[in-house]
Structure 1
């Protein structure tokens, strides 16, 4: 089913964006019944600057985070499962902290039970849409300082529902809107393509979308939304294909020029010195990478300078 393709894309996408800034576990197994967290992220304090480029997603990842992306609107049961995963992780971290303190023979029982709130991951439930009724059911509400579309549950739950379709269409929300549906996702793809080439995350984002398109296209049964997405990503596929072909042609031409240059140098040395031994070969390797402007005048020197001087200037010193 295509839903699994989208799920895998979401996990790979979030992992690729967050990996430069900390530890990503996808999936992560939690204790109790077999439950798998889609993406568990622990930031690296020395790499937090990378998160600024990810806008709102980077804000989510400033502290340990559980990210649960959904292709279809998350149901009440699915949201409940996310909360249960977070509580199980919290219990695991508390037991781990207590074991560590017990090993140090800490007799303060109260201190053993304390776990810093910043160490407990917050769960971010990423859903393409969320109705008012569902938000009300979980007591989720907007919070000052956060954009529309981000709804927090009670503080003790350390959880938030992110309604991607409600996020403002600004650069800071781009990396989350790519995980939306329909027009929301299509617009985000347009914005992603329009990013400058020096953006550190543009290439990886486009590459993963390119793979998503190929995986969806290989499916025999797709729904209308997926077919529209395939069509939207088709130019991206063609662009990627053309770039690969162009790069291949450029590499071919470059290799051809290198071979021509190598033949020219070796023939010239062979005419002058009878053969090209290992010492003279070092001259060849030194001159190969030079630009045409640098290479042409040096050919004259190859035809005039004595062997020892050539080796001093182009061979032995390299």
Structure 2
């Protein structure tokens, strides 16, 4: 990845696509020192889960390489994306010659005019504005995030951008219903990224703006926990992200009476990995009885 915001895009893709297929981030290109941002292979048995991802789910209809840019890629960067894509395509075909060929999706926050011209890309039929398809032999497309319509189906993929696009996507994300699946997917990556930026200190005006823009998300997250009851909120959030909570962990959460511990767990469930959550809840001593 090229900067912090590109890493945020990778984390959102991983969070959204892992429940419906195999996801490899920083996928190694055989015979090359380069890595692709995301390599994805769908699981047909879980295809119905794509619907909750909106436009991101449409990208995941077939195996694909995803390269995300929080700015605008140059022609050289796009050429490198194509080279990596073709190498991963060869590797995929060697493993399964009957599989449908993979697709390359280059996500660009701004309009990469040189890239679109170089690919002779045209608006992709049947897709929203902002999606451009290159030559069919390459199986490659460019998604200009700044040109996508501001509708719910594009919220997740717009969160993978930068600048104005990311700011507007966060505004739209805040307006989603509390039980929206997009919240379970993107809230963790957004809060993790915010915590990293705050810990290291914002390095750019864009990072400072991100911290301010996401302040309300933090408040919403805490308020939702108060409204639901922090213990039940942690359980509900866990199950939205990871599936049914194991009985022993559920018992530990329900038995805990220490409010600071419950708040810590709530944040961890929303931002951590499954393994981090399990380790914390398994190691914690039981809360005092009420």
Give distance in 1, aligned partners of 2:255 and 2:29: 53
Greater Rg over alpha carbons, structure = 1
Tell me: CA distance 1:245–1:29, structure 2 relative to 1, closer, same or farther (3 Å).
same
Change (3 A) 1:249 1:142: closer
SS of residue paired to 1:27:
strand
User: Is 1:215 the equivalent of 2:193?
Assistant: no
Report the Cα distance in structure 1 between the residues aligned to 2:36 and 2:2, rounded to whole angstroms. Answer: 17
Which of 212, 231, 237 aligns to 2:212? It is 231
Q: 2:42 is matched with which residue?
A: 43
Gaps of 5+ in 1: 98-114, 257-318
Residues 182 and 94 from structure 1, CA distance in 2 versus in 1: closer, same or farther, beyond 3 angstroms?
A: closer
SS at match of 1:48: helix
Change over 3 Å in CA distance of 1:94–1:245 after alignment to 2: closer
How far residue 241 of structure 1 moved from its aligned partner, in angstroms, is 4.3
Could you say which residue in structure 2 is the equivalent of 1:205?
Answer: 186
Partner residue, 1:282: none
Deviations 1:199-238 (A, max 9, x none): 2231231221111112122234522222111111122223
Task: State the shift of 1:64 in Å.
Answer: 0.4
Q: Is the 8 A contact 1:73 1:127 kept in 2?
A: yes
Comparing 221-230 with 68-77, which one deviates more in the overlay? Answer: 221-230
* Partner-residue secondary structure (3-state), 2:143: strand
- Report if aligned partners of 1:192, 1:206 keep a CA contact under 8 Å in 2: no
| 1:289-300 map, 5 Å | none
Map Cα deviations across residues 74-112 of structure 1 (whole Å, 9 max, x no partner).
111111111001111222234445xxxxxxxxxxxxxxx
Structure 1 residues 96 and 181, CA gap change in structure 2 (3 angstroms): closer
Q: CA deviation at 1:242?
A: 4.9
Query: How much has 1:245 moved relative to structure 2?
Result: 6.8
Task: For residue 3 of structure 2, give the secondary structure of its aligned residue in structure 1.
Answer: helix
Give, in angstroms, the shift of residue 65 of structure 1: 1.0
Give the secondary-structure state (helix, strand or coil) at the position aligned to 1:19. Answer: helix
Partner SS state of residue 157, structure 1: coil
Match of 2:18 in 1: 19
Q: CA, structure 1 residues 120+236, in 2 after alignment: closer, same or farther (shift >3 Å)?
A: same
- Distance (Å, rounded) in 1 between the aligned partners of 2:38 and 2:65: 6
User: In structure 2, do the counterparts of structure 1 residues 132 and 244 end up closer, same or farther at CA, with 3 Å as the change threshold?
Assistant: same
TM-align CA RMSD: 2.7
When residues 221 and 143 of structure 1 are mapped into structure 2, their CA distance, relative to the original with a 3 A threshold, is closer
Which residue does the alignment assign to 2:271? none
Distance 1:173 1:221 in 2: 27
| Distance in 2 separating the partners of 1:217 and 1:141 | 41
Normalised to the residue count of structure 2, the TM-score between the two structures is 0.74
Partner of 2:144: 163
8 Å CA contact 1:193–1:206 kept in 2: the answer is no
TM-superposed CA distance for 1:255, in Å, is 4.4
| Distance (whole Å) between structure 2 residues aligned to residue 209 and residue 4 of structure 1 | 15
Alpha-carbon distance change, 3 to 28 in structure 1, aligned in 2, over 3 angstroms: closer
Determine helix, strand or coil for the equivalent of 1:69: strand
TM-score, normalising length from structure 1?
0.67
Q: 1:116-265 maps to which residues of 2 (within 5 A)?
A: 116=98, 119-220=100-201, 222-243=203-224, 247=229, 255=257
Following the alignment from structure 2 to structure 1, what is the Cα–Cα distance between the partners of residues 112 and 29? 29
